[in-house]
Amino acid sequence: MLSALLDGYRHHIVDAHKQPLFLLLVGFIVSFLLIRVSTRLIRAQVRWWPGNVTPGGLHIHHMVFGLGFLLLGGIGVFATNGGHPWIDWFGLAFGIGCGLVLDEFALILHLDDVYWSEQGRKSVDAVILGILLTALLLTGYVPLGVVPGQDTRWGLVAVIGVNALVCLVALLKGKVWTGLLGIMVPGLSWIGAIRLARPGSPWARWRYADRPRRMARAIRRERRLHARTDRARTWLFDLIAGAPDKVPAGHPKAHAVAERMAAKALAHRRPATPVGGRRAVAPDATDPARQARAQRRRRTVRAGRPRTTATGKPPQRAR
């Protein structure tokens, strides 16, 4: 059995000149798993584990080491002109850098230490997408449906243009996974582009604002289908990367989380429209008369005087 595996590796990987890409994928997966084990041990405060790297009190994140591996692998390939066996080693180094950097992708995106928060799950999304795209390249998939050896130039341009447009539509509809994976497997992006958009997506805000029935269908589908997939996704991510920290109710970050959830909920709702068919127009905050009345009210409150009505008389209290 071992000899059969070695023969298959030699035939499908070595002879096909895919060993650098295979080592990149191995380094990607192994570095991500090892660094997640390390961070979970640090989080659990295991005594025998070394812990964070903090020379002089400065916490150095592992993305810094990942950038070093990325530079080593990328510059090394150009410096050696992709010669063997250096390209194999540099491919492995580049994969290690990808795993270390993308594991802290959420920190780079938010410019904040959100590693163990709910926003930190974006790092796991980025890692899984990176691994899947690399694996598809390794198995022979070509981006945007390009057929190797295709001679027709305009046909190639048309295939790339159509598939890129469909991937863009899927992404605008909030289908991130199908949109990105559709770069390698165009059929997935077509499915995401044809189906209804997610309620909070840019496509829904642009196209469903005047179509309440379609927005209602999108919200029902979001509640029915994506609730199940989100539960499965949460279970899988907790298994791989660990559950995020629970923010206490009185913690300052809890208010920010609540505001983001409220904004997301409001994005799913269409603004109310009066019976006449015209939307209510908000008063202009830059109206000079309105600003003058507001300033008078503030001065009156600061001075301790009773507020006056439009007739100049104090308001009567209800008895």
Provide the 10 A C-beta neighbour count for residue 120: 24
Res. 306 pLDDT band, cuts 50 70 90: low
Q: Which of 11-20, 134-143, 179-188, 251-260 has the lowest mean pLDDT?
A: 251-260
pLDDT at 148: 60
The long-range contacts involving 132-141, CB below 8 angstroms and separated by at least 24 positions, are: 132/181, 133/180, 133/181, 133/183, 133/184, 134/21, 134/24, 134/25, 134/28, 135/25, 136/181, 136/184, 136/185, 137/21, 137/184, 138/18, 138/21, 138/22, 138/25, 141/184, 141/185
**Average pLDDT, integer, range 251-277:** 53
Report how far apart the first and last C-alpha atoms of the chain are (Å, whole number). Answer: 94
Which of these, 244, 247, 313, 274, lies nearest to 106 by C-alpha position? 244
**Average pLDDT, integer, range 97-113:** 93
CB-based contacts of 24: which residues, under 8 Å, 6+ apart?
Answer: 91, 92, 94, 95, 98, 134
pLDDT at 308: 57
Res. 90 pLDDT band, cuts 50 70 90: very high
More confident residue, 145 or 112: 112
**Is 305's pLDDT higher than 70?**
no
**Average pLDDT, integer, range 161-187:** 87
> DSSP states of 20-32 as a string?
HHHHHHHHHHHHH
The whole-model pTM stands at 0.69
pLDDT at 251: 55
- Model pLDDT for residues 214-260, shown as the tens digit of each residue: 888 888 888 877 777 878 888 888 888 888 887 654 555 555 555 66
Provide the 10 A C-beta neighbour count for residue 4: 8
Res. 300 pLDDT band, cuts 50 70 90: confident
pLDDT at 146: 65
CB 214, CB 196: distance < 8 Å:
yes
pLDDT at 87: 93
User: To the nearest whole number, what is the mean pLDDT of the chain?
Assistant: 81
CB-based contacts of 60: which residues, under 8 Å, 6+ apart?
Answer: 52, 53, 54
pLDDT at 309: 56
**Is 280's pLDDT higher than 90?**
no
pLDDT at 274: 47
> Domain boundaries in the chain?
16-140
pLDDT at 275: 45
Backbone angles phi, psi at 285, to 5 degrees: -70, -15
- Model pLDDT for residues 34-86, shown as the tens digit of each residue: 999 999 999 988 989 988 888 888 989 999 999 999 999 999 999 988 888 89
pLDDT at 197: 87
**Average pLDDT, integer, range 172-196:** 86
**Is 311's pLDDT higher than 80?**
no
pLDDT at 250: 52
pLDDT at 28: 96
